[in-house]
């Protein structure tokens, strides 16, 4: 991998301008500054920012960078939380936000062809007009780009029923780090000719190739949806309900959990009525044919019932549904107010280990004297673990670091994974070797070298640094 | 790639025996003979057949073969149709049929850990006892192994709603061609740490690594299922109905098509009552909550209705459902009787192009004077194209070959793929370069070299032969 800082020669700048024109190149540090960060609070100044409009421009830019050994960091709207788009090796930030066309919408084949800069919301709106949706729905859907969704395999609440991008993409067009352009996948929902490069690129965080076009697999919009909110006396009971809900035939289209700390936090803000003694909350949604909803609600109520259930309510109108979601929606602002520099982790464990994860986290919270607030996509075992700490405070930094190490250790001991949907980037890069099989990691490094022989694509991200470099 | 025939030295045989014991090694040609073919009617004699029982044995056998540069062909029960397990380079056939343990069944986490030699049916039975199933359901389910299902990404009718193995596997354990052992994937339904090696191995036909364990993602059994049969005057009408069925919210759990030739064939056998003038038949199944079935049937009947519909009937009992399926079930035996050496292709096109595919095939049937019978998984656009010919007849061989070339050309012109679920193996190896992007193919070859540097894993399969070797 080439980590040496490139030289910002006038020739290189001229070559960039030759590819995309002067209007779409930035080299003034003040102009480049906003393209140096993402939602991880990390920042590094790129030497150049270029806005590409076409596949051919991306190809030519990568070829130029490969020749000059200049790092190139593909970037959507910078909503990622792991530093994956922060250009820590300098070089070029390739902004794809203007490559935002919807090239084709094909309801008969349940397919949609888009450029990487289109936002998730734009995809949903266009698909929705034809009666479809694209299942991945990260919280940042209004701003985040499709390219980013694919880079991190971003999911969201609906993944419990409808899967992640890996289950909802048919084909890709991309450019490798050596500037090779290729298409992979099929325009069909089945296909077994050649190796599956499509899924290999999804989740690779721009380290293998830059995606310039994606064929999305669409799902018809369900006719109806119902929302339930279940209050439990403790996390164990809620965790048991999650397990029971996931082993009966009716898979919810959302199954979200808030732990005791999260419940306490939103109740302290007022305006949310919950039964006294509520120690955990589940939000359950089900979708399907309108005529099936009444029975579905009955069935889910039954599955959610156990000795620890305090109350379960089902919304009858969209307005009531909104009221039920109020507790969950109030949580993130409350957390940000309380601890603006909080650390939001994104771990995942098998559903049956959720109670063990949460009780383990409660133990760590006490041990390290850090308030930990947990909520997330319980149906996938995907928990957002929020450490209410200020990592910029010298007194808290070391403690937070040690606590996080223990969180990761706990997750791995429960057969979990360090990231469910946020990805690795820089934040978890130095931990992934604890999770990945050493031989698999070695294979990944060798595959990376085939896609990006000079290591110019998003250097120093996603895979651990090699000790030799 | 090393294609030179290995030397059957006594030392190598002794080394094999040292790993698995004398009882599980065959070297007598008469004993090896039955392990030289699959369901493609191809045959090549292996030099040795070994039955492995454990991951460690597989690892040691691969290491031995890698050192001695002996080809190694992993094999389940030999039900594949493409010659992928036929040992055309000689060497060792590694039979995994005795590695057939179900290691864990975990309903709470909707997961099941199995060895590669377990049959699909054994998986379904074990999962069914806990209220679950594993979606892929190839016709050979009673005999075919899980390892084979993963090697070919085998699907079946349920894929239209529930996906293929790529959407239904969480994790793998495997051994590369260099004898490296590794685990990949997660025990959770979400995860984005490291590159997706799991999907890369699925569909790679034993050319990248030998799978020794798989963690399957299970789905709860639906409460109820209903079957409909719709008769149309022609394929165009049936094709339009498929497109309409696939663009409304209620996805069928099976959507099978029989074309005019197929209908004629089963009607000639008698015992199947269809409306006069039936030119195409759809079998439609829907599953879900019992209380939703009545409305679901109404909705599907509505979506299936168009000017070409002659009759649509819904079964009310399992017995009636069986009667409706009778036409479809009678087809394969009828085809085998009529043309025992028929060629069964497995192409796939976007659903909207099914009518164009079938009318194109009718044109080719006339042009080459070959009866072509089409049926298959219409909801995925996956058609089994049966050429009723005898490729062993010198007069028919050349004509069949030319016709097949035109079939493939037609499929690719319709944005399709040469294989939906049977795979490539030897049968389609020389055609895949027509489908795959040259740069993608080149990447695949480079990835193969990382997994299998000496080319000992299932040589000369799946990817085109390199002109240099």
Residue pLDDT, tens place only, A25-65? 999 999 999 999 999 989 999 999 999 999 999 999 999 99
| Res A469: pLDDT | 43
Q: Which three-class secondary structure state does DSSP give residue B231? A: strand
| Res B381: pLDDT | 96
Angstrom distance (rounded) from CA B40 to CA B42 = 5
A100 pLDDT exceeds 70? yes
Shortest Cα distance, chain A CAs vs residue B411, angstroms: 12
Quote the mean pLDDT of chain A.
94
The answer to whether domain A102-220 and domain A222-330 are alike in fold is no
| Res A114: pLDDT | 98
CATH assignment of A222-330, among 3.30.70.20, 3.40.50.300, 3.30.70.2190, 3.90.650.10: 3.30.70.2190
| Res A342: pLDDT | 87
Task: Tell me whether residues B192 and A248 touch, CB distance under 8 A.
Answer: no
Nearest-CA residue of chain A relative to B221? A249
Return the minimum-mean-pLDDT range out of A386-400, A410-424, B141-155.
A386-400
Chain A residues closer than 8 Å to B444 by CB: 194-195, 197
A3 pLDDT exceeds 90? no
| Res B391: pLDDT | 78
Could you say which of B246, B419, B440 has the minimum Cβ distance to residue A197? B440
Angstrom distance (rounded) from CA B144 to CA A382 = 35
Structure-model confidence comparison of residues A208 and A327, the more confident one: A208
Chain B residues closer than 8 Å to A169 by CB: none
Angstrom distance (rounded) from CA A336 to CA B226 = 50
Task: Tell me whether residues B352 and A295 touch, CB distance under 8 A.
Answer: no
List, as ranges, residues 284-343 from B with C-beta within 8 Å of A: 288-289, 291-292, 295-296, 299
Q: Is-contact A265 A384, C-beta < 8 A? A: no
List, as ranges, residues 93-152 from B with C-beta within 8 Å of A: 106-111, 131, 152
Angstrom distance (rounded) from CA B91 to CA B72 = 6
Largest CA distance in chain A: 72
pLDDT classification of A271: cutoffs 50, 70, 90:
confident
Residues of chain B with pLDDT under 50: 1-5, 469
Superfamily of domain B224-413: FAD-linked oxidases, C-terminal domain (3.40.462.10)
CATH assignment of A102-220, among 3.40.1110.10, 3.30.465.10, 3.40.50.300, 3.30.365.10: 3.30.465.10
To 10 degrees, what angle do helices B354-368 and B235-246 make? Answer: 150
A422 pLDDT exceeds 60? yes
pLDDT digits (tens, 9 = 90+) for A160-213: 999 999 999 999 999 999 999 999 999 999 999 999 999 999 999 999 999 999
Chain B residues closer than 8 Å to A424 by CB: 192-194
A5 pLDDT exceeds 60? no
| Res B166: pLDDT | 97
Task: Tell me whether residues B190 and A352 touch, CB distance under 8 A.
Answer: no
Q: What is the mean pLDDT of residues A443-459?
A: 98
| Res B191: pLDDT | 93
Return the minimum-mean-pLDDT range out of A390-394, A459-463, B142-146, B441-445.
A390-394
Name the residue ranges covered by the structural domains of chain A: 12-95, 102-220, 222-330, 339-452
| Res B338: pLDDT | 85
CATH architecture for residues B10-95 = 2-Layer Sandwich (3.30)
- The pair of structure tokens assigned to B191 is 């995860």
Angstrom distance (rounded) from CA B114 to CA B126 = 11
Angstrom distance (rounded) from CA B357 to CA B345 = 13
| Res A439: pLDDT | 98
Task: Tell me whether residues A380 and B167 touch, CB distance under 8 A.
Answer: no
Question: DSSP secondary-structure letter at B221?
Answer: P
Structure-model confidence comparison of residues A267 and B87, the more confident one: B87
Task: Tell me whether residues A295 and B292 touch, CB distance under 8 A.
Answer: yes
pLDDT classification of A2: cutoffs 50, 70, 90:
very low
- Helix H or strand E encompassing B345: strand B343-348
CATH assignment of A12-95, among 3.20.20.100, 3.40.50.2300, 1.10.3720.10, 3.30.43.10: 3.30.43.10
CATH topology classification for A339-452:
Alpha-Beta Plaits (3.30.70)
Nearest-CA residue of chain B relative to A164? B190
Residues paired with residue B344 on neighbouring β-strands, in sequence order: B386
Q: Is A466 on the interface with B (CB under 8 A)?
A: no
Task: Tell me whether residues B189 and A159 touch, CB distance under 8 A.
Answer: yes
Q: Is A415 on the interface with B (CB under 8 A)?
A: yes
A369 pLDDT exceeds 80? yes
């Amino acid at each position: 991998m080439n980590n040496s800082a490139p030289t910002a020669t006038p020739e290189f700048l001229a070559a960039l301008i030759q590819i995309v024109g002067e209007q779409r190149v930035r080299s003034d540090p003040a102009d480049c500054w906003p393209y140096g960060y993402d939602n991880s609070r990390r920042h590094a100044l790129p030497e150049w920012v270029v806005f590409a409009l076409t596949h051919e421009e991306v190809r030519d830019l990568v070829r130029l960078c490969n020749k000059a050994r200049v790092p190139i960091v593909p970037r959507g709207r910078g909503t990622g939380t792991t530093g994956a788009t922060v250009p820590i090796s300098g070089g070029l930030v390739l902004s794809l936000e203007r490559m935002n066309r919807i090239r084709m919408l094909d309801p008969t084949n349940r397919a949609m062809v888009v450029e990487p800069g289109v936002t998730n919301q734009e995809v949903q709106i266009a698909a929705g007009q034809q009666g479809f949706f694209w299942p991945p729905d990260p919280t940042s859907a209004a701003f985040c780009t499709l390219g980013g969704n694919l880079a991190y395999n971003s999911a969201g609440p609906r993944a419990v029923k409808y899967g992640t991008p890996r289950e909802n993409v048919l084909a890709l067009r991309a450019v490798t780090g050596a500037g090779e352009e290729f298409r992979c996948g099929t325009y069909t929902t089945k296909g077994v000719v050649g190796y599956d490069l499509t899924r290999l690129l999804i989740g690779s965080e721009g380290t293998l190739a830059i995606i310039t076009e994606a064929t999305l697999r669409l799902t018809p919009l369900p006719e109806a949806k119902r929302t339930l909110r279940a209050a439990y006396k403790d996390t164990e009971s809620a965790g048991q309900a999650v397990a029971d809900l996931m082993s009966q035939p009716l898979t919810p289209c959302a199954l979200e959990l808030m732990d005791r700390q999260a419940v306490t936090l939103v109740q302290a803000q007022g305006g949310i009525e919950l039964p006294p003694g509520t120690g955990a909350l589940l939000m359950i949604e089900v979708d399907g044919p309108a005529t099936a909803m009444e029975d579905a609600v009955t069935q889910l109520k039954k599955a959610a019932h156990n000795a620890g259930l305090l109350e379960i309510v089902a919304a009858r109108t969209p307005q009531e549904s909104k009221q039920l979601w109020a507790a969950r929606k109030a949580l993130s602002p409350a957390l940000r107010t309380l601890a603006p520099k909080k650390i939001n982790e994104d771990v995942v464990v098998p559903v049956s280990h959720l109670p063990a994860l949460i009780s383990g986290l409660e133990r760590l919270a006490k041990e390290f004297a850090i308030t930990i607030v947990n909520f997330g996509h319980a149906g996938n075992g995907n928990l957002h673990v929020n450490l209410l700490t200020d990592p910029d405070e010298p007194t808290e930094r070391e403690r937070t670091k040690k606590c996080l190490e223990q969180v990761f250790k706990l997750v791995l001991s429960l057969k979990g994974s360090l990231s469910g949907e946020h990805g690795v980037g820089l934040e978890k890069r130095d931990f992934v070797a604890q999770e990945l099989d050493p031989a698999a990691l070695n294979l990944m490094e060798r595959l990376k070298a085939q896609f990006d022989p000079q290591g110019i694509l998003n250097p120093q991200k996603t895979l651990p640094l090699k000790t030799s470099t």
